[in-house]
Amino acid sequence: MPIEKTEGFVLKAYNWSESSRTIVFFTRKSGKLSLTDRGGRSLKSKRGRAIPFARLELTYYSSERESAGHLSEVNIEEAWTFEDESALGRLAFGSAVCEMLRLTLPDHEPHEDLYIYSLKFFRCLSKSPREALLPLFVCYYLRAISFLGYRPVLSACVACGRKKEDFSVSARFYKLSPDRGGVICNSCQSEGERYIQLSAEDMNWAAALQTSSLEEAESETISYQRAFRVLDALLWFLKTQTGIGKINSLDFLNKLKQAQGSLGINQPGSQPV
């Protein structure tokens, strides 16, 4: 078995005995990679432990057979602790990123740009102000799905290319077709097709976010309601495009939404139609 080195972070660990487990990593060199971690759960283990939310240097024995490679050494290069205020929210957004990557990344296919972008996200996540967490996550999500090949077309009609500003002078809402992959102008809409409707302000914010850096997203003073609506639309978009199920780590957002609603700060917004 050839020995290999790369860096990566943990997406998920599956324990299969008291001391051993299989870990799914997102690695810089080989993309999504599953490795067995024999004895890695044992506290007696002499080598470094593969902990979540850390950039790890991995030495492993590779194998042609899927999931058959195994870890030899682990060094922690950088760890992100979510100890500041809203630690649970930071942890949940971090887990949502790992879950989304695990569900959408193909095995053994390098995605170095997305890997580096994800590290940047974790660094921001560990230190951003609390109110920036949701815009930061939406920004990451929007760019991450683009890296994966599912970039939604938000500035022009996905069918005819007409610029969004030219749809209609009084357009207060835009319709997004998750099946066709972007915004659809009135002339290109067809009966029976499913659309997600977003207000012009929501859609313009999402379109601007597509070209924003994480640092720019952090400094956004955007309402949670707007970020929720855009995120809901994007989750449905990705689900339709890829067939992946829901991201369980985001369940906490529903509770947050309800809490905001009960505080009377829910704004009238568009619903998926």
Contact residues: Zn ion, CB under 5 A: 157, 159-160, 185, 188
User: Which H or E run contains 140?
Assistant: helix 133-147
Nearer to Zn ion, 157 or 217 (CB): 157
Q: How far is the CB of 202 from Zn ion (least distance, A)?
A: 20
DSSP state of 164: G
Residue 251 is which amino acid? Answer: D
For residue 80, the Cα-to-chain-centroid distance in whole angstroms is: 17
Q: How far is the CB of 154 from Zn ion (least distance, A)?
A: 14
For residue 94, the Cα-to-chain-centroid distance in whole angstroms is: 9
Q: How far is the CB of 163 from Zn ion (least distance, A)?
A: 10
Residue 134 is which amino acid? Answer: L
User: Which H or E run contains 238?
Assistant: helix 224-242
User: What per-residue string of b and e applies to 212-228 under the rule 16 or more CB within 10 Å gives b?
Assistant: bebeebbebebbbbbbb
Nearer to Zn ion, 174 or 205 (CB): 174
Q: How far is the CB of 242 from Zn ion (least distance, A)?
A: 24
| 270 CB-near residues (< 8 Å, 6+ apart) | 173, 197, 198, 199, 202, 229
Nearer to Zn ion, 170 or 262 (CB): 170
Nearer to Zn ion, 163 or 246 (CB): 163
Nearer to Zn ion, 73 or 166 (CB): 166
Q: How far is the CB of 160 from Zn ion (least distance, A)?
A: 3
